[in-house]
Amino acid sequence: MAFTEFRPLDEKSLIEYIKTVPALHSRLGNNLDDIKIKEVGDGNLNFVYIIVGPDGSFVIKQALPYIRCIGESWPMTKERAYFEAVALREQARLSPEHVPEVYHFDRTMSLIGMRYLEPPHIILRKGLIAGIEYPLLAEHISEFMARTLYFTSLLHRSTTEHKRAVAEFCGNVELCRLTEQVVFSDPYKVSEYNRWTSPFLDLEAEAVRKDNILKLEVAELKSKFCERAQALIHGDLHTGSVMVTRESTQVIDPEFAFYGPMGFDVGAFLGNLILAFFAQDGHADQAYDRKTYKAWILRTIEETWNLFRKKFIALWDEHKDGSGEAYLPAIYNNPELQLLVQEKFMDDLFHDTLGFGAAKMIRRIVGVAHVEDFESITDASRRADCELRALEVAKLLLKERRKFHAITEVISAIQKF
């Protein structure tokens, strides 16, 4: 069988496909006897197959020309697989310990072959729901974010490299538009896709749609998202795009990658941790009251930001005489000024982080795609209670973000709700 044209694979045709691709076939020791194939795509958009044989394993991810969880009625370019592959490779180059290796990419088939993150790797979100602590999570994810964002920004790149890369990722426009719609638009208007825990949050959902100050601030964030090509961002860095064990942290699924504002990634991650925090009261039971776990989540939020800040500045200091064109050494090579410039940069990034993080929280409560953290709380009234507190914090953070200057202030605010 030849695969010269796109076609959706299934467990059966996948085997035929693997036979035609030495880079995959050889990963199984060229032995297709006794291999097991399992489709595990619990994600929203694509099909993911795990292929395990006696002599090796890998994962195949295929994009179909629509959004999986909605169906063919919501078309979506399968070219997203191309941008995912480019981003995966770039991120793996910059942060190899936290990104699965890409073994194979087939643009015609919109198909990526990559390392299988074996058990006990699980999706971080599921670990957070189960109440499992990950002692290295803050260290690892801050490393991933600091390195991928710093090295793809003008702090490290020349304008020439930057504009070439920006131009290429302008091609991922359909995925950008999806974000624009579901994060920055739908929650603030009546939309057929929106849902929330009804009737408990009916008034709150309406309040979001009627909140002029909130909508004013969301417009500013949306402009930044659409216009500001600051770094190659993952674009979908929630806790469902991270796979973890106690020792390992792996970032997957950068199909939304493009040159956008750094705060969108940092905010996505922290915002989803805040959601996880507020979901805990819905998971608590007599066997596990979640008190110390909630404290661990807050600590992880705090450490993630602080480590990110530290690592980002360390990279900046280390490479300040490098080829980055934003702050030329001949102008900024003066310790006092360097400090001033970095403080301002990180303060601005902190505000972006809070704004984008809050916007991502809001959309998970009153928009189209919800999070399992809350969805798994079966009692609707109890769930609504958790969601309501998260929503209130998010609105505060979004509107008042410029008043916050340290992550501890954010933690204090969270604790008040």
**Which residues contact a copy of itself (rule: CB under 8 A)?**
154, 159-160, 162-164, 166-168, 170-171, 173-174, 176-177, 180, 185, 188-190, 212, 215-216, 219-220, 222-223, 226-230, 325-328, 330-332, 334, 336-337, 340-341, 344
Stretch that binds Mg ion, among 41-49, 120-128, 149-157, 407-415 (CB under 5 A): 41-49
**Residue 185 within binding range of ligand ADP, rule CB under 6 A:** no
State the number of binding residues for ligand ADP (CB under 6 A): 20
| Paired residues of 236 in beta bridges | none
**Residue 91 within binding range of ligand ADP, rule CB under 6 A:** no
User: Which of 228, 269, 244, 235 lies closest to 87 in space, CA to CA?
Assistant: 235
Q: Which does 163 bind (CB under 5 to 8 A by kind): a copy of itself, Mg ion, ligand ADP, none?
A: a copy of itself
Give the distance, in angstroms, between the CA of residue 118 and the centroid of all CA atoms in the same chain: 20
335: exposed, middle or buried (Cβ count in 10 Å: 0-12, 13-18, 19+) = exposed
| Paired residues of 288 in beta bridges | 285
Cα–Cα distance for residue pair 314/352, rounded to 1 Å: 20
Going by C-beta distance under 8 Å and a sequence separation of 6 or more, which residues neighbour residue 196? Answer: 202, 204, 205, 365, 366, 387
What is each CA distance from 205 to 303, 319, 395, in whole angstroms? Answer: 32, 46, 12
Q: Which does 219 bind (CB under 5 to 8 A by kind): Mg ion, a copy of itself, ligand ADP, none?
A: a copy of itself
Closer residue to a copy of itself, CB minimum distance, 42 or 321: 321
Sign of torsion over alpha carbons 170, 172, 174, 176: negative
CB 285 to a copy of itself: min, Å: 40
CB 59 to ligand ADP: min, Å: 4
Closer residue to ligand ADP, CB minimum distance, 351 or 363: 363
Cα–Cα distance for residue pair 354/203, rounded to 1 Å: 24
**Residue 87 within binding range of ligand ADP, rule CB under 6 A:** no
**Residue 45 within binding range of Mg ion, rule CB under 5 A:** yes
CB 189 to a copy of itself: min, Å: 4
Give the helix/strand (H/E) hosting 232. Answer: strand 231-233
Closer residue to ligand ADP, CB minimum distance, 234 or 311: 234
User: Which of 216, 186, 260 lies closest to 399 in space, CA to CA?
Assistant: 216
- Selected binder of ligand ADP within 40, 219, 295, 340 (CB under 6 A): 40
CB 99 to Mg ion: min, Å: 6
Give the distance, in angstroms, between the CA of residue 272 and the centroid of all CA atoms in the same chain: 9
* Contact indicator for 32, 55 with CB cutoff of 8 Å: no
Closer residue to ligand ADP, CB minimum distance, 111 or 354: 111
Is the backbone peptide bond immediately before 120 cis, with ω within 30 degrees of 0?
yes
CB 365 to ligand ADP: min, Å: 20
How many degrees, rounded to 5, is the angle at CA 162 between CA 161 and CA 168?
Answer: 95
Helices assigned H by DSSP within 34-123: 80-94
Look at residue 105 and give its three-state secondary structure.
Answer: strand
* Buried b / exposed e along 168-204 (16+ C-beta atoms within 10 A): ebeebeebbebbeebbbbbbbeebeebebbeebbeeb
Q: Which does 230 bind (CB under 5 to 8 A by kind): ligand ADP, Mg ion, a copy of itself, none?
A: a copy of itself
CB 323 to a copy of itself: min, Å: 13
Closer residue to Mg ion, CB minimum distance, 255 or 352: 255
Closer residue to ligand ADP, CB minimum distance, 6 or 345: 6
Q: Which does 41 bind (CB under 5 to 8 A by kind): a copy of itself, ligand ADP, Mg ion, none?
A: ligand ADP
Q: Which does 91 bind (CB under 5 to 8 A by kind): ligand ADP, Mg ion, a copy of itself, none?
A: none
Q: Which does 130 bind (CB under 5 to 8 A by kind): ligand ADP, Mg ion, a copy of itself, none?
A: none
How many degrees, rounded to 5, is the angle at CA 100 between CA 97 and CA 104?
Answer: 140
Q: Which of residues 219-258 bind ligand ADP (CB under 6 A)?
A: 241, 252-253, 255
Residues lying near Mg ion in the complex (CB under 5 A) are found at 43, 45, 253, 255
Which stretches of the chain bind ligand ADP, using CB under 6 A?
Answer: 40-46, 48, 59, 61, 100, 114-117, 123, 241, 252-253, 255
